[in-house]
Amino acid sequence: MSTAILPPVLLVGCGKMGGALLSGWLARGLSSAVVVEPHHPSTKPFAGRPEIRVVPDAVTIPSGFVPEAVVLATKPQQAEEALPGYRPFARGGALFVSIMAGKTLSGLDALLEGAAVVRAMPNTPAAIGQGFTVACAGRRCTEAQKTLADRLLSATGEVSWVEAESLIDPVTAISGGGPAYVFLLAEMLEKAGVEQGIPPDLARRMARATVAGSGALLARSEEDAAVLRQNVTSPKGTTEQALNVLMAEHAWPQLIPRAIEAATRRSRELAG
Ligand SMILES: NC(=O)C1=CN([C@@H]2O[C@H](COP(=O)(O)OP(=O)(O)OC[C@H]3O[C@@H](n4cnc5c(N)ncnc54)[C@H](OP(=O)(O)O)[C@@H]3O)[C@@H](O)[C@H]2O)C=CC1
Ligand SMILES: O=C(O)[C@@H]1CCC=N1
């Protein structure tokens, strides 16, 4: 992984995920960025950063700005309207990196009239350099452009490349959306604690620390997740009783695959 400063980037859409990427790039060192964002409040965290200029639309991008990469982080539903405005950068040879759920390489190729495109699926821990991205390079990408995409994405965490673009749909469901499922677990633990009479502040701290600490242990351990789970589960103890509920056939073993299938299906629908 290169530690050199990142080249000029044009970020289209600075919402929750675009903002998370931008935070990751700034932490790594970014030469300059123009951020296209009509929704002004979402760029507030970056106010005063000398590397960053925010503009409301494609037409107001300073004419002298030559990005090496254009990162597309608007909603998939905004792609058709927004993307044609960036065709001049495609003609200028910039690499496009799309993080939009569902949007396929061929669809992006058509909207951008023949740009070099990487389709990538990051996740929000990117904001603290602990993201996980899976990426797939389009047929027009050169090796140098793939390396550039890898540098940008790996500035925010781990990156893995796949050849088969169809895998990006289940990836979107698992690692793209995965932080939401983990945060839901924290929410549910907190709520259950309050229902058991634990003071709300303590329930909140317990739930957050338990999820964060378990994640950190998983990250540092070489053991399988199943072994770490078994380490908590004393035979005939308390955890076993909870897991009997969660691991019953109709519970998590059915619900998690169903949830992932639903999200994967939606990713395919969003291809439009
Ligand atoms: N959130 C996540 O965890 C992940 C999201 N993604 C993908 O990232 C993309 C963005 O998602 P997310 O950050 O959650 O969504 P957000 O709505 O938070 O961000 C999108 C931003 O783009 C702005 N926007 C709207 N139209 C344009 C335009 N024409 N040009 C530039 N910016 C525009 C929106 O403004 P306004 O609100 O005014 O419309 C908004 O601030 C999606 O395609 C999503 O699939 C991928 C991985 C994970
Ligand atoms: O929910 C979504 O559609 C996006 C893609 C993955 C995470 N958030």
Question: Per-residue pLDDT for 176 more than 60?
Answer: yes
Which pLDDT tens digit goes with each residue over 41-89?
899 999 999 999 999 999 999 999 999 999 999 999 999 999 999 999 9
- 187 has a pLDDT exceeding 80: yes
Q: Does the Cβ of 118 fall within 6 Å of ligand 1?
A: no
Torsion of CA 33, 38, 42, 48, to 10 degrees: 50
What is the rounded average pLDDT for all residues in the chain?
A: 95
Non-local (6+) Cβ contacts of 203 within 8 A are 189, 190, 191, 193, 194
What's the CA gap between 32 and 53, in Å, rounded?
8
Domain 178-270 classification at class level = mainly alpha
Supply the pLDDT for residue 237: 98
Structure tokens at 99: 């993080």
Ligand 1, pocket-test mutation among 12, 17, 89, most atoms within 8 A of CB: 17
Tokens matching residue 60: 């107001």
Predicted TM-score (pTM) of the model is: 0.96
Tracing tokens 């639309």 back to the chain, one arrives at: 57
With cut-offs at 50, 70 and 90, classify the pLDDT of residue 3: low
ipTM, two decimals: 0.99
For ligand 1, the distance from its centroid to the CA atom of residue 143, given in whole angstroms, is 28
Mean of pLDDT values over 192-205:
98
For residue 44, the model assigns a pLDDT of 93
Cβ of 11 closer than 6 Å to ligand 1, yes or no, is no
Which residues share a beta bridge with 134? 121, 160
Query: Ligand 2 center to residue 22 CA distance, Å?
Result: 17
**Angle in degrees, CA 188, 225, 263, rounded to 5:** 55
Q: What does the radius of gyration of the chain's CA atoms come to, in whole angstroms?
A: 21
Q: Regarding the domain delimited by 9-168, which CATH topology (the fold level of the hierarchy) does it fall under?
A: Rossmann fold (3.40.50)
Q: What residue spans define the domains of the chain? A: 9-168, 178-270
- The Cα–Cα gap between 233 and 236 comes to 8
Contact 94, 70 (CB under 8 A): yes
Please indicate whether residue 107, judged by its CB atom, sits closer than 6 Å to ligand 1.
no
C-alpha distances (whole Å) from 51 to each of 22, 38, 47, 136 are: 11, 19, 10, 29
The CA 172 to ligand 2 mean position distance, Å, reads 7
- How far apart CA 202 and CA 198 sit, in angstroms, is 7
> In the numeric block, which tokens belong to residue 200?
């709300």
* 234 Cα–ligand 2 center, Å: 37
Extract the tokens encoding 214: 């378990």
